[in-house]
Structure 1
Amino acid sequence: MPIDLPKDVRAQAIASIERYFREHMDEPIGNIAAAGLLGFFLEEIAPVVYNQAVSDVQERLQARVAEVDLEVHEDAFGYWKKYEKVGKGRR
Structure 2
Amino acid sequence: MRNNNTIQLSKEKKEEMISSIKNYFLEERGEELGDLASSLILRFIIEELALEFYNQGVYDSYKYMNDRIEDLLSIQKY
Counterpart of 2:26 in structure 1: which amino acid? R
What SS class does the counterpart of residue 17 from structure 2 fall into?
helix
1:1-91 to 2 correspondence within 5 Å?
A: 1-71=5-75, 73=76
Alignment RMSD (CA, Å): 1.5
Cα distance in structure 1, aligned partners of 2:15 and 2:68: 37
Tell me how far apart the structure 2 counterparts of residues 63 and 22 of structure 1 sit (CA, whole Å).
42
> Scaled by the length of structure 1, what TM-score is found?
0.71
Unpaired segments ≥5 residues, structure 2: none
Separation in structure 2 between the aligned mates of residue 34 and residue 69 of structure 1, nearest angstrom: 49
State the distance in 1 between where 2:29 and 2:22 align: 10
TM-score w.r.t. length of structure 2: 0.81
Q: Gaps spanning 5+ residues in structure 1: where?
A: 76-91
The percent of aligned pairs where both chains have the same amino acid is: 31
